[in-house]
Amino acid sequence: MILDSNIREATLLDFPKLMEIRMAVKENTLSNPALIPEDDYVKFCFTQGKGWVYEVESVIVGFSIVDLLGNNIWALFMDPQFEKKGIGKKLHDTMINWYFKQTKTTVWLGTEPHSRAADFYRKSGWTEVGLNGKDEIKFEMTAENWNRSKSK
């Protein structure tokens, strides 16, 4: 059975669901939900960058947000029930395509070492460049590497 699915830009009305998904993840969990208030979603989606949601049967099951001013991936999270279905890759590619249409500045992200996310970014062409803080791996993607990976 093929389900109706859609990627679209995030809206203010989506934020409660995005926050719910963020709290449901099995890796890269938040120790304190108050660390990321709704105002941060607004800032990164509308003031400093852009966000997208992936819907299945009109229900949001994943989202991605890129910070254009900070040149980093602020979020890419899936409802655990919808992991490993290619949705994260579609959100990732939509976000990175948009980012490199805006700027050619290298984009970075941080994620937990030895996680599925770290493996995902390596497979998606990101380069590990060191540490972000003391507990995360830092990855970077250049416009040149992104364009090269799309042509494969």
Dist. CA 152–CA 11, nearest whole Å: 33
Q: Where are the alpha helices (DSSP H) in the chain?
A: 15-24, 38-42, 87-102, 116-123, 143-150
Q: Which residues pair with 54 in a beta bridge?
A: 7, 62
Q: What is the pLDDT of residue 38?
A: 86
CA 135 to chain centre: 19
Angle in degrees, 0-180, between the axes of helices 143-150 and 87-102, rounded to the nearest 10: 130
User: What is the C-alpha end-to-end distance of the chain, expressed in Å?
Assistant: 30
Q: What is the pLDDT of residue 70?
A: 97
Dist. CA 26–CA 128, nearest whole Å: 22
pTM of the full predicted structure?
A: 0.91
DSSP single-letter state for residue 35: G
Mean pLDDT by 10 residues, the chain (152 residues): 82 94 80 79 95 96 97 96 93 97 97 93 95 92 91 66
Q: Which residues pair with 65 in a beta bridge?
A: 51, 75
